[in-house]
Amino acid sequence: MGYSVSAKADIVLSEAMKIVGDSDSSNVFRGYFYETGRENVDGAFTASVMKIVVGGFCKRSGSIRIEMDGKITRFPTMTKKEKALAEKNGAIEYARIYGGF
């Protein structure tokens, strides 16, 4: 059984990681990584964010939330401009795949 999330939220997450991702790992960005949270009945994507610290350890450092409609409400290290770009690119990609917003 997999993790259910709306198509828009999933596509926006992919677009956000294209902007901030800095590793071959799909969940690593700017000295942080995320662990997918619990499944949400509304289709939102949620994740805990961990900061990588000296010695290979980590500490909890916030969370990610992308609403089912693709709106980024929380994403540590992303600027407003980067969030807007990820949302815009996500909407374009969603329209390309599914035909419409």
List the chain domain ranges. 7-95
The answer to whether 34 and 21 have CB atoms below 8 angstroms apart is no
Element spanning 73, H or E: strand 72-74
**What's the pTM value of the predicted model, to 2 decimals?**
0.91
Q: What is the pLDDT of residues 66-81, one digit of tens each?
A: 999 999 999 999 999 9
The closest alpha carbon to 21, from 89, 69, 82, 62, belongs to 82
Residues 14-55: pLDDT tens digits?
999 999 998 888 899 999 999 998 899 999 999 999 998 888
Strand ranges across the sheet with 28-29: 28-29, 32-36, 45-53, 57-66, 72-74
What is the band of 2 on the pLDDT scale with cuts at 50, 70, 90? low
Torsion of CA 101, 72, 25, 58, to 10 degrees: -170
